[in-house]
Chains A and B, each alone.
Chain A
Amino acid sequence: MNPHQRLVQHLAAGALDSEDAAHASRCPACAALLPAGAAEADAPVDAGLLAALQREASRPVRAWWRWPALLALANLALAAAAVHVLEPWNAEASTSPVWLFLGASVVLLGLTTAGALLALAPRRRWPEAALALAGLSAAGVLLATDGRAANARFWDGATCLVTVVLLALLPLSAGLLLLVRVAYSPLRALAVGLLSAGVGLLVLQFHCTDGARPHLLVFHLLPWAVLGVAAVLLRRLLSTWSYAP
Chain B
Amino acid sequence: MKPGNPVGRTPTEAHAPEPDELLMERFLGGDASAFEALFVRHAARVHAYLRRMVGPTTAEDLTQVTFLSVVRSRDRFVRGARFRPWLYAIASNAARDQLRRARFEQPTDTGELPETAAEDVLPDPALEKAVQGALAQLPVQQREAILLHRFQGFSFGEIAEALGLSESAVKVRAHRGYVRLRALLAHLGEET
The one of B45, B64, B75 in contact with A49, judged by C-beta atoms closer than 8 angstroms, is B64
Number of cross-chain contacts by CB at 8 Å: 134
Give the size range of A's interface with the partner.
35 or more
Interface size on B, residues (CB 8 A): 49
Are the CB atoms of A53 and B71 closer together than 8 Å? yes
Are the CB atoms of B71 and A57 closer together than 8 Å? yes
Are the CB atoms of A242 and B73 closer together than 8 Å? yes
Asked, given contacts A60-B30, A122-B76, whether A42 binds B44 with beta carbons under 8 Å apart, the answer is yes
How far does the Cβ of B68 sit from chain A's closest Cβ, in whole Å?
6
- B68 partner residues in chain A, CB cutoff 8 A: 53, 56, 242
Are the CB atoms of A244 and B8 closer together than 8 Å? no
Are the CB atoms of B119 and A56 closer together than 8 Å? no
Are the CB atoms of A183 and B44 closer together than 8 Å? no
- B12 partner residues in chain A, CB cutoff 8 A: 17, 19
Query: Which of A61-69, A77-85, A101-109, A225-233 lines the interface with chain B?
Result: A61-69
Asked, given contacts A45-B60, A184-B97, whether A18 binds B73 with beta carbons under 8 Å apart, the answer is no
Q: A123 CA to B79 CA in the complex, in Å?
A: 11
- B69 partner residues in chain A, CB cutoff 8 A: 242-244
B interface residues (Cβ-Cβ under 8 A, vs A) = 8-10, 12, 15, 17, 27-28, 30, 32, 35-36, 39-45, 47, 59-60, 63-78, 86, 89-91, 93-94, 97, 117-119, 164
Additional 10 contacts, C-beta under 8 A, given A53-B39, A244-B70? A16-B8, A16-B119, A18-B9, A41-B119, A56-B72, A64-B76, A183-B97, A184-B97, A244-B86, A245-B86
A interface residues (Cβ-Cβ under 8 A, vs B) = 1, 6, 10, 13, 15-19, 21-23, 37-38, 41-45, 49-50, 53-54, 56-58, 60-64, 122-124, 181-184, 240-245
